[in-house]
Structure 1
């Protein structure tokens, strides 16, 4: 039983707030002044992340011989790159993201209580892992921010800048810049929640359609179900076109972060460093899982539509053609892929990736110990 229940309306409100804080909100702000301010904040956030990424690349260049430090810096650079790409993709796909969110909001206002309860049931399934991921990201961010207080390092993350930057005031500005970069990287999780919400909404509507098909026998109502099915398919296709590059970005950046964060965990490192990377590694894995889980649920539910139509009571001369149309269309499950040329995002894909990663690092640990 889910003790903490988050209503869909509350989840949308949280996503809106997080979107404003992370400069990824697709909703326009009324008023010319606020619109200009929003664009300025977006540019400052983007510039700050680029500044942070340049410092990390320079650090890698000047410390090529220290493999462990290079891997640790690549991990941080992957997280910063995730934030940069998140800003760019969300800005490009702003209109589509806004349309998808408004579609869900309109559904919550017009759907009956039973339909809302079905959507609530699906939201409850993901509440625990969303809360766990938020906690892991927060812990990782706090450890990074307070790293200079518990270690001898000057900054939360390792960077390299020219000597003229080595003054107390400029060092303080770099410190503050890194804090804001870390917050932006943590807030990128709101995009993953949005993607899961789109999949969850589509899955709930398919379940509502399944119940309707099981309880009706009239020709007019079956045709209304066909129209509803087509609307859901269009929504999923638009979702696919909108989020495929966000999913691709997530797999590339978090895959790199998960692989690199394993190295500090299998060799001798300070406990503070290991704690930082434990939370980061688990968070990266859960960011994979939340998208893969919701996408897999959508695919499985789309397959059940055909079974809902396979009853003898439906097969009348007036309805047989309509029923066959739904069955044939349901033979092709609704899947979400990173892009048309990349593998479908699924639990099996995630599992194979993590199995290979663990096998690789087990072998690496044996080599290091010898």
Structure 2
């Protein structure tokens, strides 16, 4: 029997806010001081594990497996810290974007609700699966001490004894908390993707609205809406491209080092842990890539086709204005960092996978030889 679950835009927003809570991406309207204290404390806790992991690499320089594990955990922590810093730097822009999305969802008319629901139906299953995979991957790592001989989930080395029962439990809980911080850092990509899907929906609505423009005043109003969307896109791109760069960089390292574990002679339980991590990180980049690729289409070719189909029936003065809008719509909204991050799109993801698997195959040959 097929389970029919209706996920509305409001439910999707609430779920996303919950899963990224540890990144402090949604500041409350009250008690901002306590919120900032919690943010600083969270970053401190993550760095408190980062340093012992670096020490473990130095101390176990002759143990390649421990080095791989520590590097992967370090990547997760660096990704979390980088995204929290990004959230802090662009907190005003993100708060404004969040407010716009909340207000739009609350006041949407029937047509707007239909378009937004269509996009939520399109993406929620994948994003829900990815969010669950982030936290399940962390959980699989954290329960390692229950089925393996290791004492803690990581091989971190502390400047004090961890043989005491109380200290041992505190260290274990600390590593668990930081692990879920890393999961929240990955889940932040789902929030960015949610904003991108929202922007895509607004472009779809704008394209449909072009059919109802009949005079100069309505066209001016249409142009204003188009400019507002482009401003929204600029603010969204500022933070999203940095998050995407962090995710791509960490994912590349995680995939390569995780793949080495899979072809090693480690126990099956260890391979299962890292196998889940490799699959999760491989699919993680596609969260934002899928949304960004769709945005490229609706902000350019789809919008241009709608405008071109409506502009021919107007008077010459209005058609001239339409041609200016049409020219601007030829430039799609893209997410990239020149020289560091190519345009997020399906083509980019395919090239990324090809390069990652080529690197993995090269490493496998080197290890076997």
Task: Compute the TM-score of the two structures, normalised by the length of structure 2.
Answer: 0.93
Q: Are 2:259 and 2:360, in contact at CA under 8 Å, matched by a contact in 1? A: yes
CA distance in 2, matches of 1:205, 1:80: 35
What secondary structure sits across from 1:334 in the alignment?
Answer: coil
**2:39 aligned with 1:11:** no
SS at match of 2:316: coil
Q: Compare 149-158 and 103-112 and name the one that shifted more.
A: 103-112
1:38 aligns with 2:35: yes
* Equivalent in the alignment of 2:215: 218
Determine the structure 2 residue equivalent to 1:287: 284
1:193 and 1:96 map into 2 onto residues whose CA distance is 17
CA contact (8 A) 1:336 1:344 kept: yes
Deviates more, 1:271-280 or 1:163-172: 163-172
* Alpha-carbon distance, 1:25 to partner: 3.0
The structural deviation recorded for 1:297 is 0.6
Deviation, 1:171, is 2.1
> 1:289-312 deviations in whole A, cap 9, x for unaligned?
010110111011111211212236
Q: Which residue of 1 aligns with 2:316?
A: 317
Q: 1:252, CA displacement in angstroms?
A: 1.7
Give structure 1 stretches of 5+ with no counterpart.
none
Aligned residue for 1:24?
Answer: 24
**Hey, what's the Cα distance between the residues in 2 that align with 1:340 and 1:7?**
38
- The residue correspondences of 1:288-303 to structure 2 (distance < 5 A) are 288-303=285-300
Helix, strand or coil for the counterpart of 2:333?
A: coil
Cα offset, 1:36, TM superposition: 3.3
1:92-135 per-position Cα deviation (integer Å, ceiling 9, x unaligned): 22111100000111212333111121011112211111121123
Could you say which residue in structure 2 is the equivalent of 1:84? 81
Shift of 1:315: 4.2
Instruction: Report the alpha carbon displacement of residue 332 of structure 1 after superposing the two structures with TM.
Output: 0.9
Which residue matches 1:328? 327
Flag the 1:319–1:53 CA change in 2: closer, same or farther, 3 A.
same
TM-score computed with the length of structure 1 as normaliser: 0.92
> Is the contact between residue 19 and residue 131 of structure 2 (CA under 8 Å) also seen in structure 1?
no
Structure-to-structure mapping, 1:84-123, within 5 angstroms: 84-123=81-120
Worse-superposed segment, 167-176 or 90-99: 167-176
Q: Distance in 2 between matches of 1:364 and 1:145?
A: 27
Structure 2: tracts of 5 or more residues without a match = none
**RMSD between aligned residues:** 2.1
Q: 1-side partners of 2:32 and 2:148: how far apart? A: 42
**Which stretch of structure 1 is more off in the superposition, 309-318 or 273-282?**
309-318
For 2:200, the equivalent position in structure 1 comes to 203
> What's the offset of the Cα at 1:331?
1.3
1:163 CA drift (Å): 5.0
